Structure 1
Amino acid sequence: MPIPSHQRYVTTVPIYKRQPSLSEARSLLQLRLLEVENVTLACPEVLDLSEYFNLWPELQIQRYASKHFVSVQSYNDLAISPSFYVPFVDQYDYLLISQLDTFLLSNQIRGFCNQGYDYFGAP
């Protein structure tokens, strides 16, 4: 069953450093190769994104206060906060968080969206 057109998804990629490592760049480019939709960098408000745009000029950006990217705990606090999701709520029905320490092997995102779960991932 295809996902209804109004059920769109955004793929957020949290980043906090100016230069991605080689494996991080490959992870990001894999999303592009697999035609993952609406890829949006979630990043500190002052981060220079030139290197990421060199890899993928069509990336979208959502900036947050820099205080959310100083530690794993500060990022985790952001990720469970409504303020992380508010910028997307009027445009998208689903939000995927794709960390750059992962490598997507196939794009089955729409299939997961069709299952209707409000959370799918590690506990």
Structure 2
Amino acid sequence: MISKIESYKYLSAELLMAMFFWIVFTGRGYCYYCPLGTVLGLISKIAGQKITTNNSKCIQCGKCSETCPMSIDIKSAAFYGKDVVDIRCVGCGHCVDACPTKTLSYTTKVLSILKKRAEKASIMHT
């Protein structure tokens, strides 16, 4: 009985160590295979999640692509002023925060509707 407990303890410790090193060396690579990452991708697709890239002029520094934990090529989309719509995007906002020129912004269908309503309300009050 104690032998089985020790085996399970040893295997669980090995599994945790393997997961730790996988995360340290590959970033969020597990999101490609994890069911939660898949569900987040589908929810983002339904919600109309996107990164808008034309708020200002992109200087092609590449910080957005470097900080993206899902390795999405945001820099190329920003160069052409195209919105980034990728099922791998989990909406963390690291790319938006890393952009020195504030070229990037995060939006969804709901946020776009709320922004339009706020703009209409401000126009009516003036």
Name the structure where strand makes up a greater proportion of residues: 1
Fold similarity call, TM over 0.5: no
Higher helix content, 1 or 2: 2
Which structure's relative contact order is higher, taking Cα pairs within 8 Å and 6+ residues apart?
1
TM-score computed with the length of structure 2 as normaliser? 0.24
Q: Normalising by structure 1, what TM-score?
A: 0.24
